[in-house]
Amino acid sequence: MCCGMGGSYSVKLPEISGPILKRKLHNIRETGAPLVAMDCPGCVMQIRGGLDQDGSSIRVRHTVELLAEQLED
């Protein structure tokens, strides 16, 4: 499901983008997961920003970051 960023979508239509992000953050929190990963750099920025703004301890990572860490071990 979309995070609400969609390139410039969040800038041009914040009244639509904001509630999409809010729902996404709620769903992430409800999982109880300490980390959320995704492929889209825009989603990483949008979701990390939303969680940081809320003071959440949930970490946001790009999938490639997680793969790279495994190669380093």
Count, residues in the chain: 73
Q: State both tokens at 50.
A: 């939303």
Mean pLDDT of the chain: 90
Residue 34: CB atoms within 10 Å: 8
Which residues make Cβ contacts (< 8 Å) with residue 29, sequence separation at least 6?
56, 58
Q: Where are the domains of the chain?
A: 9-72
| pTM assigned to the model | 0.83
Give the confidence band of 3 by pLDDT, cuts at 50, 70, 90.
confident
- Strands (DSSP E) contained in 1-73 are 35-38, 59-62
CA distance 4 to 7: 9
Q: What's the pLDDT at 73?
A: 66
